[in-house]
Structure 1
Amino acid sequence: MTLPELTARTSLTRPDGRLDRRAVGWARRPLVDTDGIARDGRRFLGRNKRWEYWGVVTPTHVLAATVSSIDYAAVHEVWVLDRATEETYGAAVTVVPPRGVRLPGTFGAGPVRARARGLDIAFHEVPGGTRLRARTGDASFDVVAELPDGHERLAVVVPWSDTRFQYTVKDVARPARGTVTTAGETHELVDGESWAVLDHGRGRWPYDVSWNWGAGAGRSGGRTVGIQVGGRWTAGTGSTENAVVVDGRLHFIPAELTWDYDVADWRRPWRVTGGGLDATFEPFYDKVSRTNLAVVSSVTDQCFGRWSGTFTPPGGGEPVEFSGLVGWAEEVHNRW
């Protein structure tokens, strides 16, 4: 079955809190109302997951901030990498039960906020984009992820069942401007070479799940190119989260992709192929995260590096060559 393109607003859930199958599809902009995830959460306690993740890559730094509520805990992080020295800054906090966190029910319906010991994060819409602010004891950033006119974003509903499903918005190649401060020194983001990526999620998840995710952006061959690829978690659902954005226009890839990488050496080149995409990812840093809180655990290797390759849009079209797109590729295994 071909996954339909959504063009009108729809609700993720029915009045009984189960998946509304009319929402299953993909879109070029956020169209799905997800208010039911929090509103009906008690009927599905423990399975509701809501988050906002922003990652920003610059020639000098990598910035990231996560605000999340996973039903029984709020999990937040601010992380900054100095690319020249590989020094890292920031803080990660788990708050049980969740408190001090604000996440709008539906995309764009209000500000995002997390306050916890040693950490303060705020995301909100401003004219021309989204302002991202984060602060810890040793680092801070204040960045605007610009939203150019006509810029398209991948929005997808992934259905495991009528009670387990996810709505994700993956927004790549957002030009970024602002400042980052580490160890008391403030750096301006390099104009035209700094890019922001959003991962917005609302859904009800299985307890044990693994996934791959990759993203990258930059100017190549006179074009702005953004890469968005994922795998494993969507297998067998009929949905994918794969796309390439060229000069703001989104090209959805309906095929599952093949991921090839070496778990014994994360810094070896990765290959991601299929659906007209032939991409190589060359890491320069591996962010290793390990959490084990008895019934809740997470194992993550998020590698940062550069994407290169070619993309031929589905149905034909002029091949797009790209190189030097800075971003990441990751493997995650969660029990949550």
Structure 2
Amino acid sequence: MQQNKISLPGNLLGNEGSLLQQGYSTQAILTYNRDGIKARPWRIKEWDFYQVSNDDYCLQLTIGHVSYAGNISVKLFEFATGQHYEITKMLVLPFNRLRMPLSAEDGDLTYRRKDMFMEFQVSNGGRRLICKAIGKGSPPIDVDIELSQPDPTSLVIATPFDEHPSMFYYNHKINCMPASGVVHIGDTEYRFEPDSSFGLLDWGRGVWPFRQDWYWGNGSCYVDGKRFGFNIGHGFGNTTAATENMLFYEGTAHKLGQVIFDLSAGGYMSKKQVTSDDGRFEMEFTPIYDQITATKLLFVDNSCHQLFGTFTGQAVLDDGRIIEVKNMVAFIEHAVNNW
């Protein structure tokens, strides 16, 4: 399929509130002009989601809102044992009070209350994730993680929805960020080392339909000492102009066509074949842990199966080089959103 690579800087939205350019880029060259949104205020959705993981456990930090409801959460879970810690604070009618940054590459984001402090700091070449949380039914959680960002390339995509011209999804995902730091949960310590741990940022801004399903997969690892990662997915709007499927290898992005996978066939914990229509992503996925989430607040009724497991197979770069992947721990998910 022919995909449009956006190369002309400018505003994301035009005077009518629709996308001026549709497609993908490997750097954020479009400006998220939030004041250009023409949809009703309660239709706006914005989030910053960080995930830090290794082969044994995963940390997730979220600051986000769907205008009439918000979510501040910290989670850590172990794949082998199923041990799960979580402290979540739900917000009623936050709208724009969280002051989400207009760029994934600039601007810190802070949430501060007496029982929850979370801050995402952005600097040249890295990020720092800090959280101190106290919640009922969970020991206190203390997070201090640094992510290095050695690569200039990432996935940025501007996607429309067919339901209405004012609906869009502007998304920036950053892979392959080596992670270092520590998480204390009560008396238990979880360490992340840069030779075995990576961070991921999912930065989303948009106006969505009320009901939407999506499928998303992402992972980062070292292959023969080189940074390798991927992002795959569908269901995020009309992807005629571009998919959000991309490989990353030592700082260079390699665009893929359509990648389709069905997670529910045979049960979520059964082995899956994940393939691309251009033959450049051929993987067998073996689930090891199903991170099931469900959120209900006001009009929000969301659920997600996030399957962590191992990918084994091949990925083909733009120049034809074949990357052999073996037992790469990563995830694919199916989310059903009513929001």
Is 1:128 the equivalent of 2:125? yes
Cα shift at 1:40:
4.6
Deviations along 1:283-308, one digit per CA (max 9) or x if unpaired, are 21111112334632101111112222
1:299 is matched with 303
C-alpha distance in structure 1 between counterparts of 2:258 and 2:323, whole Å? 20
C-alpha distance in structure 2 between counterparts of 1:228 and 1:172, whole Å? 8
Tell me, yes or no, if the aligned pair for 1:210 and 1:232 is still in contact at 8 Å: yes
2:285 is matched with 281
Backbone CA RMSD of aligned residues:
2.2
Tell me, yes or no, if the aligned pair for 1:4 and 1:25 is still in contact at 8 Å: yes
Task: Point out where structure 1 has 5 or more consecutive residues left out of the alignment.
Answer: none
Change (3 A) 1:108 1:47: same
2:137 is matched with none
Change (3 A) 1:141 1:317: same
The correspondence for 2:181, drawn from 178, 188, 198, is: 178
Change (3 A) 1:123 1:230: same
Tell me, yes or no, if the aligned pair for 1:216 and 1:307 is still in contact at 8 Å: no
C-alpha distance in structure 1 between counterparts of 2:99 and 2:180, whole Å? 25
Mapping of residues 221-260 of structure 1, within 5 Å: 221-235=224-238, 237-253=240-256, 255-260=257-262
Cα shift at 1:27:
0.9
1:68 is matched with 64
Change (3 A) 1:163 1:82: same
Change (3 A) 1:73 1:292: closer
Tell me, yes or no, if the aligned pair for 2:22 and 2:241 is still in contact at 8 Å: no
The correspondence for 1:146, drawn from 135, 145, 148, is: 148
Tell me, yes or no, if the aligned pair for 1:141 and 1:181 is still in contact at 8 Å: yes
C-alpha distance in structure 1 between counterparts of 2:234 and 2:114, whole Å? 34
* Paired residue secondary structure (1:29): coil
Change (3 A) 1:52 1:319: same
Tell me, yes or no, if the aligned pair for 2:80 and 2:289 is still in contact at 8 Å: no
* Paired residue secondary structure (1:102): coil
Is 1:209 the equivalent of 2:208? no
C-alpha distance in structure 2 between counterparts of 1:126 and 1:271, whole Å? 39
Task: Point out where structure 2 has 5 or more consecutive residues left out of the alignment.
Answer: 135-139
2:105 is matched with 108
Mapping of residues 90-109 of structure 1, within 5 Å: 90-98=86-94, 101-109=98-106
The one-letter amino acid of 2:254's match is: H
Deviations along 1:75-102, one digit per CA (max 9) or x if unpaired, are 2211001345321112122201117623
Deviations along 1:26-68, one digit per CA (max 9) or x if unpaired, are 11112221132xx355752222111110101124421001111
* Paired residue secondary structure (1:46): helix
2:170 is matched with 167
Cα shift at 1:127:
4.2
The one-letter amino acid of 2:158's match is: V
Is 1:157 the equivalent of 2:161? no
Deviates more, 1:257-266 or 1:166-175: 257-266
